[in-house]
Amino acid sequence: MKLLALESSCDETSAAVIEDGYIVSNIISSQIELHAQYGGVVPELATREHLRNVPIVVREALNKASIKPSDLDCVAATRGPGLPGALMTGLRAGQSMARALKIPFMGIHHHEAHLYSAWINENKISLDDFKPSIGLIVSGGHTLLVLVEEPLRHRVLGGTLDDAAGECFDKTAKLLGLKYPGGPLMDKLAQRGNPQTYFFPRPMLHDKSYDFSFSGLKTAVRYFLEENPKLIEEDQFLYDICASVQAAIVEVLVGKVIQAAKNLKVSCITMAGGVSANSQLRAALSKACKVRNFQLKVATGPLCADNAGMIGALAWLKFSQGLSSDSLDEDPKPHWDLPENFANINKRAF
């Protein structure tokens, strides 16, 4: 089965070809430089860039996979959540291709694709060695803890009540005068700093829920900078504060995912989304899993961030399990909770 996938939910335009579960091509055109000058993603500009880039990435993905449109068996695209105009470009392009080629189409939930991207190994998605797991999805827009009891059967345990982990990195970085998106830069600068120099709050770490809240942490950094205006001029201060903020975010994420696994008696943890690229988060989660003998699966390389490869990989799983395609006139869903598909479990198990 040859599948073309499109992703355009935020500031990456991407197209991928999946053949029998393998990501054969995964072309990603990033708009980061464009939006960096405004300090964040400008939705109208993102839509225009997607419109320009969708045909380019599709052509490149097909060429790299050495196939023609007429070789395709099905098409998939991100349906939500995301920026309305941005989603519209990829979704409508995918639906139009499916209509013209008279092949099935499937709209995909962006976070569900992040969730299962941790099961992609050497560009091949497989749930053959599936184990019940707790999935941590950490991106610029969302922070979610999900229980995956069976393949493609999952339930959200909790999520952020305000800022997402990536948003906390980006907003704190902005306070420190760093360029958007600040997450990767903070990761880099933190490597030269001491995480114990400053103590910032670990919001909701010991709360009796699986929810997160990161806006207070960002506010604590703002107050700290207002009280210590001179410090920001020193390089070592920048390294130390990046390391200290990062340590707070990492401790909360790792603490909560491990607690969830213990409570729900699950011994496999997965992590994906842009923030899963963070070196300290990967190291700390890996250490915490090793100590408890938990299996850890983390998305790798470009599959951590937004890309059509993960959209196509999930669509391939769904098509190959016989899940039905969508009608070709479904609208985007900019606000779309992760669909849940199994029985109630106790969300207050701490």
CB 204 to ligand KG4: min, Å: 19
C-alpha closest to that of 146 among 350, 347, 10: 347
# binding residues, Zn ion (CB under 5 A): 2
Q: Which partner in Zn ion, ligand KG4, none is near 183 (CB below 5 to 8 A by kind)?
A: ligand KG4
Q: Does 217 bind ligand KG4 (CB under 6 A)?
A: no
**Residues 143, 250, 306, 310: which binds Zn ion (CB under 5 A)?**
306
- 120 and 16 Cβ atoms separated by less than 8 Å: no
Q: Which partner in Zn ion, ligand KG4, none is near 61 (CB below 5 to 8 A by kind)?
A: none
Residues 220-249 that bind ligand KG4 (CB under 6 A): none
Nearer to ligand KG4, 299 or 315 (CB): 299
Q: Does 278 bind ligand KG4 (CB under 6 A)?
A: yes
Strand order in the sheet with 105-109: 105-109, 74-80, 2-7, 12-19, 22-30, 124-125, 120-121
- The neighbouring-strand residues paired with 121 are 124
Q: Which partner in ligand KG4, Zn ion, none is near 95 (CB below 5 to 8 A by kind)?
A: none
Nearer to ligand KG4, 277 or 289 (CB): 277
Q: Does 90 bind ligand KG4 (CB under 6 A)?
A: no
# binding residues, ligand KG4 (CB under 6 A): 19
**Residues 159, 274, 312, 332: which binds ligand KG4 (CB under 6 A)?**
274
**Residues 80, 273, 309, 332: which binds ligand KG4 (CB under 6 A)?**
273
- How many CB atoms are closer than 10 A to CB 36? 13
Q: Does 166 bind ligand KG4 (CB under 6 A)?
A: yes
| Residue closest to ligand KG4 (Cβ) | 274
The whole-angstrom separation of Cα 58 and Cα 207 is 45
The whole-angstrom separation of Cα 326 and Cα 83 is 21
Nearer to ligand KG4, 260 or 310 (CB): 310
Residues 286-315 that bind ligand KG4 (CB under 6 A): 305-306
Peptide bond into 151 cis (omega under 30): no
Q: Does 170 bind ligand KG4 (CB under 6 A)?
A: yes
**Residues 80, 135, 183, 309: which binds ligand KG4 (CB under 6 A)?**
183
- 286 and 235 Cβ atoms separated by less than 8 Å: no
CB 336 to ligand KG4: min, Å: 13
Q: Which partner in ligand KG4, Zn ion, none is near 275 (CB below 5 to 8 A by kind)?
A: ligand KG4
**Residues 3, 4, 10, 144: which binds ligand KG4 (CB under 6 A)?**
10
The whole-angstrom separation of Cα 103 and Cα 84 is 25
Nearer to Zn ion, 13 or 139 (CB): 139
Nearer to ligand KG4, 65 or 173 (CB): 173
| Start-end of H helices in the chain | 32-36, 43-64, 84-101, 110-117, 165-175, 182-190, 215-227, 235-263, 279-292, 308-320
For the chain, what's the residue count?
350
- The neighbouring-strand residues paired with 326 are none
Nearer to Zn ion, 167 or 306 (CB): 306
293 to 147, 148, 184, 261: CA distances (angstroms): 18, 19, 29, 12
DSSP letter assigned to residue 266:
-
Q: Does 139 bind Zn ion (CB under 5 A)?
A: yes
48 to 35, 130, 242, 298: CA distances (angstroms): 12, 40, 34, 33
16, containing H or E segment: strand 12-19
Q: Which residues bind Zn ion (CB under 5 A)?
A: 139, 306
Q: Which residues bind ligand KG4 (CB under 6 A)?
A: 10, 139-141, 166, 169-170, 181-184, 187, 273-275, 277-278, 305-306
